[in-house]
Structure 1
Amino acid sequence: MEQTDRLLLRSSPSADTTPEMGILLGHALAEEYKKVVVGIDLMKSSPMMKNALISGLISSGADVIDIGTVSGPVAAYAAKMGDCCVYVTEFRQLDLVSGYLLINSDGGLFGKEQIRHLETKCTGKLDLPDYKALGTVKEYYNATDDYNKKLLSLLSDSTGGTVVLNCNCGMATDSAPQILNRIGTDIISINAQKDRDFVSNSLSTKEADIHHMKDLVASDAGSIGISINRIGTLMRVFNESSDPIDDEDVLKVIMLSIKPTKIVLPLNVSSSIIDLFNGKYKIDVKTSYPDPDPGEMEIIFSYPDAGSIHKAMTENGATLGYYKGGFVFSNICQLPDAIHAAMILAQFSGCNNLEGTVESFPEYYTDEKSYRFTCSRNDFIRSINSNLPDINPMKVYEDRCWRVEMDGGNFYMEFDKNDEDSINVRAESTDRLYLISLIEVIDGLMANSENGQ
């Protein structure tokens, strides 16, 4: 089971998962996790993959709590009933076989070290118990109701606005419409029935993927649009003019609404989010959430993958986390939760104009470049770290990548995943002229570091 970055908030550990792998995974998990929660999505292959996994688990002596067909956030919330949870899902592409999403008992994804540990067990010799020590399977089908009640208890008393809701015939249909209705939202709901055969559009902003939602939002004046993927983890939001909103702008709206005390952000995040949190610019909005204590407010930076985000949230008691369009709320689970985010946005739109709020965000300019180096990666890393002080950075964050804060902007550096001799750089500033000069500074840094000297 290869743990790749695609696992991170996005998908299952392997693109070529097989039922045989499910049995091996069950054997490996059962050595350390004696009670495992198992849930599945709506894919046709998911029941088959679940049965293979459960066979491996119970034949190795582990007990299973089968929570049935649920959304990703529900599975993560239910994980606390066992030692861990396995969510059988695959949504990167239609017709791929379901894989296994591994979730800790606190609702956060397994980290890479946990996956590597399981890999060693899968390839090693496994001693199976005799038939007298077989595990059991208990069915528990109230997991969605438990999640819905918990989420409802966390929301403020604000009334929701008008929302065009597209659940894409997925598992969010068991939560999002019901909770929106409970908070007084006017809902125009489409694709709100579960359907294994439904082919949903992606959540991209390509016209072919969004034109139907745009038409629906435009036809109902004053409404916003929310399209949720089939397992309830990711979303696309549309403003009152039916325009899609960038994920990082959605994060800023959520921050304005719930006012988090601590937030975990990936190192490659835009400075506009950091500046908003730190109060460098202010946006006046109506919200019923209390103001945090300024002395306790903190941004925690993390390497941009799900395991690192989850670990940082747990270690620092963060309220909110973000990674690649996924919004993580620690007060319910630590898996990306588009259902929870949809509730917050619905309440926000009930007393604020979403389009006007986003338009009030200051503009940040970016530029991207790739550079090649002729030395080894280790030599290049040493050279970069040696040369960085020469450009007088205000602050440098390093964790397998770099975020460099300068007086008038910042830049982010990360090795190219497809070319081991290249590094990609993204520079950002609110000043176009400063951005040009910053690129020149980066050019000089790379020229001085490319040969490892």
Structure 2
Amino acid sequence: MVSVSGIRGRVGDPLTPELVCGAAAAFGAFLRGEGASGPVVLGRDSRTSGPMLCAAAIAGLQSVGVDVIDVGIVPTPTVLLAVGHHHAAGGIAITASHNPAEWNALKLVTGEGMFLDADASLRYRRFLREDDPPRAAWNALGGLSSDDEAIDRHLEAILALDILDVEAIRAAALPVALDCVRGAGGLVVPRLLEALGCTVTAIHTEADGHFPRDPEPTAEHLAELGEVVRASGAVVGLAVDPDVDRLSLVDETGAAVGEDLTLALAVDTVLRRTRGPVVTNLSTSRVVADAAAAHDVPMVLAPVGEINVARRMQAEGAVIGGEGNGGVILPALHHTRDAPVAVALILQHLVDTGEALAGAVARWPTYHIVKTKVAFDRSALDAAYAALSDDLDADVEDRTDGLRLGWNERRAWLHVRPSGTEPIVRLIAEAPDEKAAQALVDRAGSILDGVA
């Protein structure tokens, strides 16, 4: 699958070394055609297919005369920071993020240290489809070097952030539990926690790609971490995905809290220290808006997708943003989701409030999100949106990414949007109680059935 999110698939069928080599060669040539110069930074998560696909990507880049800097097994945000450090033309992160172990992918990065946006992705896909990248002669092939200090620089940059009171966090000596799911997080998050003076009880820190559970850090996958939290007396449990751009939380009772709370607590932490807009996507919980409202700053909604949020953050001058899947973006460091930064902000929040996680979460309203998906003919989407708008009589309507309807007094919303990767339509609703959210999804589904 080739999309704005990169190139991904199951390893071996269809994601082969040959495909990766060709895609990397095309990306190197594409960057040159866009006027970029310099090397391309390459990093990966811990998946067992990583070494093979990295070798293929290196060969492809070298074949078009592009130098490669290999940063090894690192978080995806570390790759993006390394692009800036090396003044590189771009970067490639070989990772399928939260997908199961049989998947892998190429996430493509520009010289800005950000993922390709919709326009650049479209140009690259057109180049990939229509052009044969010019290959370098034997004496003009790209070189290969390694950078073993990318994680060190990432950690140093986090610890140097003005937004953090590092000494106060260290003085608190917080007991924390950690689950790195045998991804790249095992190489960075324990080091960060130790630098912040935490007492750490960790599981699955071996960065070998043999994921012991579904690697997506959603509530249903965090039971083992909950047991570790209870057994160790931790004030918070931290779970990251394999490429360390998402953070989920477990409270001191062992209960997982919704991924949206990661962003809401991070937003509150930042806004206690600096004022400015907050940006998140159209499918993020209202609790993030509550955090922004508590500090009387605007919150702006962007289309779903990390790069869409990041671009809107740049345009708005946002001081923090991200997505409700546990992805926190702090522009003071860079414009990409960064779980290590999120970890530091959550610890700062606990120090600020003087509470363990359950107490910190209890300060905010509770919402329930219901999600489902339906098969639907995309050619009928405009008619479906009109029918939904007419029937549901919302206070607020947004059509920048499908259709999002909001009801202010009911504190509820419904988002209907086509999937970017499947021939289905996603229905997402939130309300203060689960029955109300389910009723919105059910009603929307009935209306779509009537249009189809």
TM-score clears 0.5: yes
Q: Which runs of 5+ in 2 are unaligned?
A: 32-36
Deviations 1:237-277 (A, max 9, x none): 11111111111122222222222622211112222321331
Instruction: Check conservation: 1:72, 1:232, Cα contact below 8 A.
Output: yes
- Counterpart residue identity of residue 13, structure 1: R
- Counterpart residue identity of residue 126, structure 1: P
1:205 maps to 219
Distance 1:374 1:77, change over 3 A: closer
CA distance in 1 between partners of 2:18 and 2:418 (Å): 33
2:365 maps to 362
The match for 1:146 among 141, 149, 153 is 153
Please state if 1:396 is matched with 2:397: yes
CA distance in 1 between partners of 2:212 and 2:2 (Å): 28
Instruction: Check conservation: 1:365, 1:429, Cα contact below 8 A.
Output: yes
SS in 2 for 1:38: strand
Deviations 1:128-156 (A, max 9, x none): 23223322222222111111110111132
1:68 maps to 72
CA distance in 2 between partners of 1:272 and 1:192 (Å): 31
1:333 maps to 334
Distance 1:212 1:59, change over 3 A: same
Q: TM-score scaled to structure 1, two decimals?
A: 0.81
* Greater Cα offset, 394-403 or 140-149: 394-403
Instruction: Check conservation: 1:373, 1:380, Cα contact below 8 A.
Output: no
How far the C-alpha of 1:363 sits from its partner, in A, is 3.1
- Equivalent residues, number: 425
2:22 maps to 24
How far the C-alpha of 1:372 sits from its partner, in A, is 9.4
Q: Which runs of 5+ in 1 are unaligned?
A: 280-291
Instruction: Check conservation: 2:302, 2:308, Cα contact below 8 A.
Output: yes
Deviations 1:355-392 (A, max 9, x none): 0121232233667788999994265167359848x93x
The match for 1:186 among 199, 206, 222 is 199
Please state if 1:377 is matched with 2:377: no
The match for 1:245 among 250, 254, 257 is 257
Distance 1:364 1:87, change over 3 A: closer
- Counterpart residue identity of residue 398, structure 1: R
1:289 maps to none
Distance 1:131 1:315, change over 3 A: farther
CA distance in 1 between partners of 2:179 and 2:382 (Å): 50
Distance 1:48 1:204, change over 3 A: same
How far the C-alpha of 1:415 sits from its partner, in A, is 3.9
SS in 1 for 2:190: helix
CA distance in 1 between partners of 2:177 and 2:441 (Å): 46
SS in 1 for 2:115: coil
The match for 1:120 among 107, 115, 126 is 126
SS in 1 for 2:205: coil
Instruction: Check conservation: 2:429, 2:441, Cα contact below 8 A.
Output: no
Instruction: Check conservation: 2:414, 2:440, Cα contact below 8 A.
Output: no
Q: Report the aligned-residue RMSD.
A: 3.5
- Counterpart residue identity of residue 26, structure 2: A
1:285 maps to none
* Greater Cα offset, 247-256 or 313-322: 313-322
Instruction: Check conservation: 2:414, 2:441, Cα contact below 8 A.
Output: no
1:414 maps to 416
Instruction: Check conservation: 2:95, 2:107, Cα contact below 8 A.
Output: yes
Matches within 5 A, 1:253-402: 253-259=265-271, 261-279=276-294, 294=296, 297-323=297-323, 324-350=325-351, 351-364=354-367, 376-377=379-380, 379-380=382-383, 383-384=386-387, 387=390, 391=393, 393-402=394-403
- Counterpart residue identity of residue 23, structure 2: L
SS in 1 for 2:160: helix
CA distance in 2 between partners of 1:140 and 1:190 (Å): 27
SS in 2 for 1:269: coil
- Counterpart residue identity of residue 411, structure 1: W
